[in-house]
Each structure stands twice: as structure tokens, then as C-alpha cells.
Amino acid sequence: MIGFSDIMKRFFDTELETFRSNLVLMGEIAVRQVRQAIEAMVNADLSLAEQVAAADDELDQLEIKIDEEAIRYMSLRSPVATELRLVIVGMKASHDLERVGDEATNIVRRVARLSSEPPLKSYEDLPRMAAMAVEMLRDALDCFLRVDAEKALAVCQRDKDVDEINRALYQELTGYMIENPKTTNRALELMFISKSVERIADHASNIAEEMIYLANGEDVRHTEATRNPDAS
């Protein structure tokens, strides 16, 4: 049997550690971006909104770096098995995290527009929905650290809860516009913000699916298992 003494440490193992660290860092930044974007909306904090927009570049650069590292590793180190899955999943997850950053930036751009008018309604559903999306994102990233397919599947299954709130908000905001057309601009901005949060949850779900592939090599995309807890 192979014991610990038989498993070699290779001179390029640190390259994968750096690759992992960069993905974790990207995840932390993306989570922070979303939290701050919603905080900026609730408090009409334009200074915080600017900070969020400015930090997007950091995520973009990290995505490029992760892609470069992955291509280099695949070309020079010929990874197989867990390493191969890690490199592929890392590239895909970094793309999702970059898109999360883009959605956070979209939200703060709309915050700037909303701030010039009085709030249409008290912000309750959107922060709740955003908290759910952030929690999904955090859990998906936790699955990366712990290689936990079961927890990752549960993240995917939570996506529909966020979708439901988004649908309800859409109907409520449409009602505002019908009742009072003067609310149209604000209602549309909130609809777009809601859509961005819903997209962030989608990206969290994608990352969770990727973590399932990392853990057990199973591709669960577009399967009933990710939607229905009873099917898994």
C-alpha cells in the first residue's frame, strides 16, 4: 500500500497552491463587492458605490492571472485526475466570479441613479435576496476549500428560492409602474438590481456545480438533481 512516505512532493506543487489561493482571493473580493453594493443601495452611499466599481478591476486582473496560470500548468505539467479537474474548475469558477463582480458594478451604477430620487419603497426584499445570494456564494467557495459535493448540491438547490423572490419583486414593481407611471424609472432600476442579484445567485450555483465536478468528477449541469432535492 502507498503510505504517506511514498507520496512525493514535487517541485511545482507550489504553483497549484498559488492557483488555489488566487481563486479563494477572487471569491473573497466578489463576496465583499456584492455585500457593499447592497449596503450602498440601502444607505444611498455613493462613496461606497464608487469603491465597489473601482474594485472590479481587481477581479478582472485576477481572472486573467488564473487563466494564464491554468494554461501554463496544463501546457507544462500535464495534470491529470484531481489536478486536471482543479485547473479546469478554477478557470470556470474564476469566470463566474468575474461576472459576479460585473453584476455588483451594475448594481452600484443603478444606486447612483436611484440616489437622486426618494426611495420607492423600503428596502427589505432586495437585501434579503442579496443575503441569500451572498450566502450561496460563500457556501460554494467553502465547498472549494473543503471539497464537499453534498453541500455544493444543496447550494444549487437554493437557487430557486432567489428566483422566486426575483419574480415576486418583478410583479410588485410592475404594479407600482401601472399605478403611478412616475415611479417607472425607479421601479425599472430596482428590477435591474433584482435581476443582477438573481444572476449572482446563478453564478454561485454554477460555481457549486463546478465544485461537485471537482469533488467527484460528476457533471450535474442541467440535471434535475440541481433543482430538486428529492432527485439527488
Nearer to other proteins, 89 or 191 (CB): 89
Give the range of 5-13, 140-148, 149-157, 197-205 binding other proteins by CB under 8 A: 5-13
Residue 85 CB, shortest distance to other proteins, in Å, is 7
Q: Residue count at the site for other proteins (CB under 8 A)? A: 16
- Going by C-alpha positions, the residue among 180, 163, 51, 155 that lies closest to residue 107 is 51
216 binds other proteins (CB under 8 A): yes
15 binds other proteins (CB under 8 A): no
| Single-letter amino acid, residue 79 | P
118 binds other proteins (CB under 8 A): no
Nearer to other proteins, 216 or 228 (CB): 216
17 binds other proteins (CB under 8 A): no
Task: Please state, in angstroms and rounded to a whole number, the distance separating the CA atoms of residues 109 and 102.
Answer: 11
Residue 209 CB, shortest distance to other proteins, in Å, is 16
Nearer to other proteins, 77 or 128 (CB): 77
Task: Please state, in angstroms and rounded to a whole number, the distance separating the CA atoms of residues 182 and 98.
Answer: 35
- Which 72-111 positions form the footprint of other proteins (CB under 8 A)? 78-85
> 3-state class of 223 per DSSP?
coil
4 binds other proteins (CB under 8 A): no
Residue-level length of the chain: 232
Task: Please state, in angstroms and rounded to a whole number, the distance separating the CA atoms of residues 84 and 132.
Answer: 31
Half-sphere exposure of 80 (CA within 13 A, CB side): 0
Q: Residues 215, 221, 223, 228: what is their CA dihedral angle, to the nearest 10 degrees?
A: 70
Among 8, 47, 116, 222, binds other proteins (CB under 8 A): 8
1 binds other proteins (CB under 8 A): yes
Q: Are 160 and 231 contacting, i.e. CB atoms less than 8 angstroms apart? A: no
The footprint of other proteins (CB under 8 A) covers 1-2, 6-8, 10, 78-85, 216-217
